[in-house]
Amino acid sequence: MVQEGQSQGREKAAWWFQVRLWSVALISIALIAACFILSCVVTYFKCDRTGKKLSELQTHYSSLTCFSEGTSVSEKVWGCCPSTWKPFGSSCYFVSTEQNFWTKSEQNCVGMGAHLVVINTEAEQNFIIQQLNESLSYFLGLSDPQGNGNWQWIDKTPYKENVRLWHQNEPNFSAEECASIVFWNQRGWGWNDVFCDSSRHSICEMKKIYL
């Protein structure tokens, strides 16, 4: 009877061991499956957003130019701009050859999936001015709608926390409620307040598309 009890005890222990083993295996499989599904969902939404953005751009542009921007964990990352735009950092830039007043210039940028340029760093401005003509003036995405010194970037970037590269003693006239970038002899490139209804060239900016 003792041996039979011991045998049953060993069988029961072996059975519980198998149960625990299978439980661990099933839990592991479930976790792996959950991670796989989550990865697929994240990839789907990422690809879906990229696809929608590319679809929007294709309504305005026939081709994109892409540049390798390093690698991610699983694949290369490519930053793309419309072929006629210039890439810098995470943005693409377009210098308009047409002259318009500020509001119309912004509308034209929006029509191309962009907005008037927002300059965040001196390095960004140094890149942009390489694309400009020193004899011309270009609207920025910066304005003072109330003429009270409350300058605002078109994309809601905080003005007071951002770089400010005005020419010396500018802005200097409350009725000039829009900003431009212009080259002045002896001073180089800098920002100047101008009338919003004056006719000027402009610079558009959009975020790169990453593939």
Which residue did the predictor score with more confidence, 39 or 185? 185
Q: Which two tokens mark 15?
A: 């059975």
What CA–CA distance (Å, rounded) separates 66 from 45? 21
Lowest mean pLDDT across 52-61, 104-113, 131-140, 146-155:
52-61
| Three-state DSSP class for residue 45 | helix
Lowest mean pLDDT across 100-104, 159-163, 190-194:
159-163
Nearest to 124 by CA among 173, 97, 76, 90: 90
Q: What is the CA radius of gyration of the chain?
A: 30
Cβ atoms within 10 Å, residue 195: 15
The confidence score (pLDDT) of residue 47 equals: 46
Let me know: does 172 contact 193? Beta carbons within 8 Å.
yes
Element spanning 4, H or E: helix 2-58
Q: State the architecture of 91-205 in CATH terms.
A: Roll (3.10)
Mean pLDDT of 10-39: 59
Whether 45 has a pLDDT exceeding 50, the answer reads: no
For residue 210, give Cα distances in angstroms to 66, 70, 188. 9, 11, 34
The confidence score (pLDDT) of residue 121 equals: 96
- Residue spans per domain, the chain: 1-59, 91-205
The confidence score (pLDDT) of residue 44 equals: 44
The confidence score (pLDDT) of residue 186 equals: 87
Mean pLDDT of 144-152: 95
Q: Over the chain, what is the mean pLDDT?
A: 82
Let me know: does 92 contact 83? Beta carbons within 8 Å.
no
Cβ atoms within 10 Å, residue 147: 13
State if pTM tops 0.75.
Answer: no
